[in-house]
Structure formats: structure tokens, C-alpha cells
Amino acid sequence: MPNNSSHLPFVGAFDAARPGLPGAGLSWLKDFRETGIERFNALGLPSSKIEAWKYTRLKPLEDTDFQPVTDDDGMAALDTVPSLLPNPGGRPRLVFVNGRMRPNFWIEGDLPDGVHLDCLRDVLTRNPDWAEAHLGAIAGDEAMPLMQLNKAMMDTGFVLRVDDGVEIEQPIEVVFIGGLTDRPVAYFPRNLIKLGKNAKATVVKHHFGQGVGAYFANAVTEIDIGEGATFNHYTVQAESRDATHLSTTHVRVAKDATYESFNLAVGGRLSRNEVSVRLEGEGGHCGLNGAYLMRGREHCDNTTVIEHLAPHTSSREVFKGVLNDESRGVFQGRIVVHKNAQKTDGHQLCKTLLLNTGAEIDAKPELEIYADDVKCSHGATTGQMDETALFYLRSRGVPEALARNLLVQSFLGEALEEIKQDDIRQALTDKVVHWLPAACFLSEEWRDA
Amino acid sequence: MTTPKVISREATSSELDADYKWGFTIDIGSDLAPKGLSEDIVRLISAKKEEPEWMLEWRLKAYRHWEKLKFQAPKWANVKYPPIDYQDIYYYAAPKSNAPKSLDEVDPEVLEAFEKLGIPLQERERLAGVAIDAVLDSVSVATTYQGMLEKHGVIFCSMSDAVKNHPDLVKKYLGSVVPYSDNFYATLNSAVFSDGSFAYIPKGVRCPIELMTYFRINQADSGQFERTLIVCEEGAYVSYLEGCTAPARKTHQLHAAVVELVALDDSEIKYSTLQNWFPGDKDGNGGVYNFVTKRGKAAKNAKISWTQVETGSAITWKYPSCILQGDNSVGEFYSIAITNNCQQADTGTKMIHLGKNTSSKIISKGISAGRADQTYRGLVRMSAKADGARNFTQCDSLLIGDQCGAHTVPYIESKNKGAIVEHEATTSTISEDQMFYLRQRGIPPEDAIALVVNGFCREVLQQLPMEFAVEAQKLVGISLEGSVG
Amino acid sequence: MLEIKNLHVSVEGKEILKGLDLSVGPGEIHAIMGPNGSGKSTLSHVIAGRDGYEITGGRIIFQGEDLTGLEPEIRAAKGIFLAFQYPVEIPGVPNTTFLKEALNAIRRYRGEDELDAMQFVKMMREKTKELGISDDMLKRAVNVGFSGGEKKRNEILQMAVLNPVLAVLDETDSGLDIDALKVVAEGVNKLRSPDRTTLMITHYQRLLDYIVPDKVHVLAHGKIQRTGGKELALELEEKGYAEFGEAAA
């Protein structure tokens, strides 16, 4: 193995594990993995000299001797699976523990005909031709090291296929549970989502960590939204405090199709949510929204690119951050309007609240415009809590700690409002409330008044 | 009132582009050092200028540093050009005549050249209220109104004279804002700069007239590396103007200048630029590469205001910046950048907030037409100590035609919860409705575009001193000629 | 003065005017009334020479000259003024600057001397005083932040300054309350002159209560359907455009 991967000790360990990775018998997959590792070795881990990684360093990865997960790690004892949504009984759900699918927690729910939900391993076994045609079809960026690493190492993930014209109203929940091992482990989910013409589906991804100790998840999700289809994509990232969570999502939006997403990050020592959306057909729309709440020395990076490639496409992006203690937030959002994408409508907003001096935000909202008849704008603000508003609430008898919580909630409201489904918005709002200091539960004097 | 004509005179001749009205060349013998850069050339420049030892040492330090950087010209900007052969450039070009002791001794050819540009160097033809330092190629040829300024204790002279006559001031402040090791082009400049302007405003003095430096590149294949240093002592004030033109040459000319502003406690420096270097012809032949480092340092309660109108140059790479070191200091950046045909510009500012209650304002108006590409690149940094600091940024881009590009790349870094940063950016075009409305009122299309663009830029134009504002408005119109399809 | 003969106009391939005939003499005021979508705005735009309106047949003769193919600014210089239904905002350009540019462009075209700043200011003072418009409006950017009434008054002010031979008022009454309408009508009446021909395009009769036309034409389905005196307007007010294919407004 070339030298430049020497700074990544865990790569060697994986070399040994590779014969056991899913689809080991498929020769095309072997080649696919080979090109991935070669490319990764050539690129190395991204350094801060690369513009897209200016503000996020992958230091923890270099210092930790990550090991591949074993079947035992996947079978870690688990009594219940906390569900994000109420009444999980009837909703389709897929559960992964340390990257291994747990059939005993799988709820088939009432998936209608034409909706196929499987884990990647099964698809590689049962439907290798489909997998060959679709793996890397949307996410093929050779310049992205982490995507290349995932390409080589992918060992888990799910595949959702929705046939033409099929709509599923029930959100499909996918739960990834990390931690619960006696040593640092790494896993590499690859998720494929494909919606046929005029199809409709909603996926809620819930990442959370249990126990203590470092683990590393490097996921790649490929989403292909057919003509006139709608895909709603919600993610809650609540990894444990020692976890590294890197996620790369590539989305292709066809004519008159819609991609709506919301990413809520409330955990992880180091997390990066990198999304690239290509609006390839006229009338395509994407809503790319998110919120992050960080404390301690957590670091959260949201890096997004929305490319308008066809006329009459629109995009809307709202990201809100709340940073406490010595945490650090990074927002890099780029809107690209290509030459013939006239009549594009693209708006982006990124606002950050610093609760403590010591916390840091680095924001880089970018516009890259090559067409003249377009409406594009972005806005970015950073600042602290509005002292006047705080005083106003207190003067009305609201205790200070509670008033602060209310103002954080109100600040995040503008982003959460972008979530159209009520139950999901409520679920995410609850997550936000849980993140807040417990002041609202302690303020007995106010509750009794 | 006479105004400095950075624009609006008919060209006599030009090698290349009949539309660039400042494209004439003048035929005055030039004293040229051989092409290429070496330690010997640095020594030669220093010797030509009869510099003291400390100045030579500083240049050599810079040169040696540049040797290390040699192949590391910055690549991050959104501009494209073939590699520059730094050994194929004249690093020293001066009008042949000996340095004039007074205006009467200035070569009549040179006087006439500046006359043509609308810059009368004869004090009797006073350019009302403006003192001018005229820099031709790398050398200051004349500075007007020195006598009057002296009475107020204001020093305004060429950098060469300052090194000779005010060594203590130069020693103290040169490189104090832009160190010789700052960046590739600043390092190059530090090694080979041949002239530029120096201004010093003593404590409590409000400079009675505007100071202006007029830069002109004449020599073919020469680089221009001027260095400007302005020092405002406590409570002082100065308004400084800078104008630039160059002949239309087939080859590219390199301009790598450095400007340093030192604003001590309670002082104010207002720095305005009309940059109209030759932009190249319609197909991108020729034109100036304008790679400039401009930065000011503001002490307590001081204010630095940059206003720039950038219409020229084939490539502009320029980020006039403010280091807001003192508490309550203020930084401003007002910019109009127009790119047409094949021009490229990557320009913006950096506002580094270090002191408490510092504030900055950035208003950037970018206009892109033809096949031009333009990027606003800006940094606002709030340090952990910058309690109560504030920034407001408004970045607007106007695209004319569907072959051009406009990009906005702001960097916002804040480590202080008490600091407030607000950034807004928009992009738009001139609507068909606006064009029809104006034309229905009798205004021809090119004038209509100029009118809309001037309106778009109004906030920035208003910042310019009167003498410059009128010229700037015309320049806006002229720069966009031919952009209507 | 203005002769329109068998005019056919298409927009994006769709025929809007289908053989329109109209003749307006010097100093006359004519009203063109018609239901929505009858081609009223198309007529005003095509007289002013807006791009995107294709004349597929017929001619527009202004002072004996065929206007076909002339650029809008040339038509303006020849004395055609269009008061817009929706006046356009030009951010950052003060009203005075705009008007001075326009007036001097027209004067240049006519071979007249341009007005210098002093002369222009003097003239503007007279015009604003005459029309009872505050100077404040002159300093503001063209139509930016103007109320509906202010925008229309601004159109009338421009008309006073540019002093056209033919004024086309496109739905000048739309979006105005009765007080604003009176002010605008008063302005138009003040500018009434034997040297000026006016074409008022409107959906409603109420404007004609204040500006009394010499003739009223009904435009529907791309043609003038009826022509009469001011009493025709009253009749339309009563009966609506039902006769011409639209339910009473």
C-alpha cells in the first residue's frame, strides 16, 4: 500500500477485513473497491489547504486506531430502539447497530406494492445487476477523498426503491445506533434511494450514539429523484460525544421533481454533513434546510452545493446554528447557476447564534452565477441573543434561564418551519427542547405562579 | 474647476484598441535596467535611487524571501492566466532625464503627456484643491503644491525623496502594515519597488487639500511596482486619490503595487481609487495584470475608508483591507468593479476586527458584462476580544448578458458572541421593463445601461470626492460600451 | 396626426390586434375603452415600439411617417410619450437625473442645445409648481418606494417636461383612489393643448368624468368595434362590455 495512507492506520486493518465485506464474490465490485482505495490513497485525508476543508480538520481520525466492526459488535445488547416518531408500531423501520442490520428490530409496516426497502448486503446478493447499475451513479466525484474511502470500504447501508407513480405517505425510519463496543470502530454505510416518475416517499434517518468511546461513521447516500417525484429527507444526528460522523449525500433532481430535506445535528465530536444537489430538469426544486446545536468542544460542519443546471429551477436553503461553550460551527453553502439555467430562483440564509465567547462560527455562503436572468440572494448573520428581547421576557415575569431557552427556540423556529410534515417537525422540535439547558424544568417558581 | 481626467480625452494613437481612450504612448527616452530579476538588479535599483544601506538590506531580505516563493504565486483566486515569466520583465524604467529638482526642470514631453491625460503639473494651471504626485512607469516625475503643504507640516513627496529626506519615518512605518513577507506579490514589490508616493500628516492637522497620485505605465514589457505609504498622526485627516492609466499594448503589463496606511489614534484616512489600467482588447489581448496589496491599520478611534472604482485591467487581484486594532476604530470598503469583454476580477476586502467596539461596513457593487468573470471575495473576522464589534456587508452583482459570470465568496469568522455580523448578497440583471421605460423616454440603449448601472452604484459613487465622482460616472458608462447585445 | 391602418400585431405568435383602424387629429383627445385582454396595452406598447410585438400587417403613421421599425428612443424623440400602466423602478437614479438625461437626449436628437444644470433646474421648478408636485419627489430614485398615486403623478410630470406631440396614457387610472385620480386628471387637463394629441386607454369610464374626450372607441377582439362621442362611455358604464363579449365589469 502506498505511503500516503500511512497516516491512516485503520486503512491497513481494513485491507485484511476486505474479503469479508458484502459482495466479496462480485468481480465488478472488487474493481469498484480497488479504484476507490487507489484514489483515496492518492488523495489522502483532506487537509485544511483544500478550500472545501478550510475550517474542518480530521485530526481525530489520524489519532485513533479504528477497527472494522465484527458481527459481535453488531449484536450488542439492545433492549429497545428509541424511535423518533410516535407510535412506531405501524411505521416501516430499519435498524442498524454499529453498521450491522438487526432483523429483529425490523418493522415491515405496511409498505405498499412498488416500495422496496432492503439492506445493501441483501441487494448485492439478490440483485447484483441493479446494484452494479446504481452504485456510484449519482455520487461519483473522484475529488472527494471520503467518498472514495466509502467506495472502497462500504460495508452496510440500505436501499430504497419506489416504483413509478407509487406514493407512500408513512415516513420510513432508518435508525443507526453507534457505540456499544470496547474499542474504536469504523463503518461505512452506503445508502441508495431511487424514486421513479411521480413517486413520493419520506425517509427519516436517526443517528444516535449509546455508551462511551469513539467510533467513526463515513456514510455516502445517493438519491435519484425521477420526473415529477417528491422525496422528503429528514435526518437527526445525535451521535455520542466521542463520535465522528461524516456524511456525504448526492442528489439528482429530475424535471418537476422536488427534494426537501432537513438536517438536525445535536451531537458528535466531529460531524460533517456534505450535500450536493443537482437540479437537472426544468421545474426542479430543492429545499435544503438544517439546524445545529453544539456544546462542549463539538464541531459541526454543513457544506452544501446546489447546482442549477436547467431553466426554471428553484432552491431554498435555511440553516440555523446555536453554539455554546467552545464548540465550533462551519457553514459552507454554494449556489451555482449554470449558463443556460435562466429564470433560476435561489435563496439561501444562514444565521448563527453564539451563546458564549469561545464558540466559533465560520460561514462561507457562496453564489456562483453564469446566467443573467436569475434571482439569487444569500444572507448570513452571526450574533448573540437579543438582549432587548431577553429583557422583555424577563420583565413579563419569565425567569432568565427559561427566557434564554425560549429565545433559542424562537431563533430556530425559522428553520424548523421549513419542515412541512407536522409530526416530523414536532419530533425535531422535541429534540431541540431536549438539547436546551434544563432550565425550563427547574423553574418551579414560574410553573407554580 | 478642472478635474483630473482619468477618462474622457481622445486618444492620439494606440497600438491596439481604439476604444480605450488613454491608450496613447509617449516617446521619451527611458532609462532601462536589463530585463529579469536578480540580486544584482535589486542592488542596481537601490543604487540608481542612491538609497541608504538599510533600505537596500530590506529589499534584499524581501528578494531572498521571494526566491523561496518563486513558483508559488497564489492560485486560489478565480482568475485564469498563463504563467508569468518574471525574467522577461523590466524591473526598472525611468524617464531618461535626471530627476528634476523643480517643476521647471521636468521634461516637457512628460509634462505634455500628463497634460494629455488632463493632469496639469504646472501649478499655475492649478488643479483646484488637489496636490498631485505624478508617477510615470516606476518613477515620480513631479509633485505639485509641496510648498503650500509644507506650511501645514504635511509631507507629500515621492517615496524616493522620502527615503532620502525622511528616513526615520520611512524606517518606522515601511512594512509595518504589509510586511515584506506578506504575500508573493507584496514580497516582489518590496524587493524591486522603484517609487510611489509618501504622505505624512502631523498630529492634529487636517490636510487642507486632497492629495493625489497619478500612475501611468508607459514602457512596454515593464512592470510597475510602486509603493505608497500614508501616515496619519493622532487626530490628523487626509483624503487621498489615486488614478491609473496605461497605454494599449499587445503584451500584458504587470502591476504589483503595495499601499500601506497607518492611521494613529483618532485620525482618519480616506483613500479613493479610480483604476482604469488598459483592460486589453475585446478578445483579451494585452491589458494590465493588476496584482495589488492594500492594507491599513487603524489605532484607537481611527477610521480608514477605502473607495475604489475598478474598471480597467485585464485581471484585477486586489483586496484593500483594514486591521481594526484600536478600540472603536472604523473600517469601510466601498467598491464598484466593472468587468466587460474578457476582463477578470477577483476583488473584495478583509476586515479584521481586533479591538472592542470596532465597526466595519462593506458595500460592493459588481457589474459583469461581455464574457467577463468577476468574483467578490471578502473576509470579516471577529476576534475573541472584539466585544461589541459590528459588521455590515452588502454585496450586489449585476449581470449584463448571458455570457458573463458573477460570484460572491464571503468568509465570515466570528469568535465573539458580542460581535454582530450581517451579510447580504443579491444578483440581478437590467430588466427588459427598465430598458423599455428609459428608451421610451428618449434615452438610447447604451446611455440607458449607463444610467441604470450608475444608479446601481450610487451608494459607492457618493463616497467619492467631487473631483472624482464625475469622472467615475463617465467611466462607468464608457467601460460598458459595447455590452448591449 | 396619428393614423393606424389595418394593424395586425402578434405577441409570441399569438395575434392580438386583428386589423385595427384608428385616426386621431391634432389636439384631440380620444379614449380607447375595452374589456380585459382586448389588446389595449398591446396597442400602447406597439405605438411606443416595444420589442416583442410583431407587426404582421398594416401601418402606424405618425405625422405622416411610418413608425414601423423605429427604435423606442427615436419615437420618443419624435414626440411620442407613453404613460405606463406600471411605471418601472430604477433604483439609485434620482428623478431629476433621469429626466435631464431623457430631455437632453431628445434635444440632441432634434439638433437643439442641451439644457445646462441651471436651465434645467429652473424649468423643473416651473413644471413642479404648475402641477403642484413637491420637489422631494425629484430627489428620490425613479419610482422607487413611490405609492401608486405618486408613480402616476410622476408619469404626468415626465410628460410635462418632455412635452410630447402624442401622449398615450395606458390605464393611468388603474390602482388609484378617487382623490389621486382627480390629481392626475387635473395634471393631464393642465397639459391639454392644441399641439398635443392624447390617447387615453382605460377599462373604466370614471377617468372620463375628469378628462373629457372628443371621441370614444371601443376596442374588443383586436379591433375597434364602435366609435362615438363621450356618451358612448356612459353607455358602456351602464351596460358593460357584454355586447363585446365580456360580462359586465
The DSSP-derived string for B317-379 is: EE--EEEE-STT-EEEEEEEEEE-TT-EEEEEEEEEE-STT-EEEEEEEEEEETT-EEEEEEE
Tell me whether residues C93 and B452 touch, CB distance under 8 A.
Answer: yes
Would B485 be classed as within a structural domain? no
Would A35 be classed as within a structural domain? no
User: Containing H/E element for B133?
Assistant: strand B130-136
* Chain A residues touching residue B381 (CB < 8 angstroms): none
Tell me whether residues B447 and C101 touch, CB distance under 8 A.
Answer: yes
Would B310 be classed as within a structural domain? yes
Distance from CA of B438 to the nearest CA of A (A): 19
pLDDT, position B205: 95
Tell me whether residues B451 and C101 touch, CB distance under 8 A.
Answer: yes
Residue C55 domain boundaries: 2-244
- In this complex, the residue of A51, A362, A383 whose CB is nearest that of residue B413 is A362
Task: Give the tens place of pLDDT for each residue, C203-218.
Answer: 888 888 889 999 999 9
Q: Is B466 on the interface with A (CB under 8 A)?
A: no
A269: Cβ contacts below 8 Å, ≥ 6 apart: A60, A214, A239, A241, A242, A243, A244, A297, A298, A299
Distance from CA of A338 to the nearest CA of B (A): 9
Greatest Cα-to-Cα distance within chain A, rounded to the nearest angstrom: 71
The count of domains in chain A is 1
pLDDT, position A296: 92
- In this complex, the residue of B432, B434, B442 whose CB is nearest that of residue C90 is B434
Nearest CA to A158 out of A121, A132, A113 is that of: A121
How far, in Å, CA of B417 to CA of A355, rounded? 6
Would C102 be classed as within a structural domain? yes
- Tell me B382's DSSP state: E
Would C249 be classed as within a structural domain? no
- In this complex, the residue of C51, C82, C105 whose CB is nearest that of residue B447 is C105
Would A417 be classed as within a structural domain? yes
Would A231 be classed as within a structural domain? yes
The count of domains in chain B is 1
User: Containing H/E element for C188?
Assistant: helix C178-190
Residue A316 domain boundaries: 72-137+154-448
Q: Is C53 on the interface with B (CB under 8 A)?
A: no
B411: Cβ contacts below 8 Å, ≥ 6 apart: A362, A363, A364, B377, B378, B379, B380, B381
Low-confidence ranges of chain B (pLDDT < 70): 1-30, 94-130, 136-142, 217-221, 246-249, 484-485
> Strand ranges (DSSP E) for B79-129?
93-95
- In this complex, the residue of B432, B439, B455 whose CB is nearest that of residue C90 is B455
CATH code at C45? 3.40.50.300
Residue B159 domain boundaries: 30-318
Nearest CA in chain B to C51: B436
pLDDT higher than 70, residue C178: yes
Nearest CA in chain B to C88: B434
Would A215 be classed as within a structural domain? yes
Instruction: Identify the residue among B346, B391, B427, B434 best suited for mutation to test binding to A, counting A beta carbons within 10 A and taking the highest.
Output: B427
Instruction: Identify the residue among C42, C50, C96 best suited for mutation to test binding to B, counting B beta carbons within 10 A and taking the highest.
Output: C50
How far, in Å, CA of C69 to CA of A438, rounded? 75
Instruction: Identify the residue among B76, B78, B400, B417 best suited for mutation to test binding to A, counting A beta carbons within 10 A and taking the highest.
Output: B417
Q: Is C12 on the interface with B (CB under 8 A)?
A: no
Would A149 be classed as within a structural domain? no
pLDDT, position A449: 37
How far, in Å, CA of A65 to CA of A14, rounded? 11
- In this complex, the residue of C71, C76, C86 whose CB is nearest that of residue B441 is C76
Question: Cell for B127?
Answer: 488643479
The count of domains in chain C is 1
Task: Give the tens place of pLDDT for each residue, A262-305.
Answer: 999 999 999 999 999 999 999 999 999 999 999 999 999 999 99
Q: Is B367 on the interface with C (CB under 8 A)?
A: no
- Tell me C14's DSSP state: E
* CB-CB contact of B479 with B340 (8 Å): yes
* Chain A residues touching residue B415 (CB < 8 angstroms): 357-360
Greatest Cα-to-Cα distance within chain C, rounded to the nearest angstrom: 55
ipTM comes to 0.88
* Chain C residues touching residue B431 (CB < 8 angstroms): 88
Residues 409-448 of A with CB under 8 A from B: none
Tell me whether residues B440 and C73 touch, CB distance under 8 A.
Answer: yes
Residue whose C-alpha cell is 505609504: B229
* CB-CB contact of A196 with A162 (8 Å): yes
pLDDT, position A442: 41
Q: What's the average pLDDT block by block, 10 residues per block, for chain A (449 residues)? A: 50 77 90 91 86 86 82 77 73 88 81 92 94 92 89 93 95 90 90 97 92 87 97 95 94 97 95 97 97 95 97 96 95 95 94 93 94 92 89 81 87 90 90 77 41
- In this complex, the residue of B404, B408, B418 whose CB is nearest that of residue A357 is B418
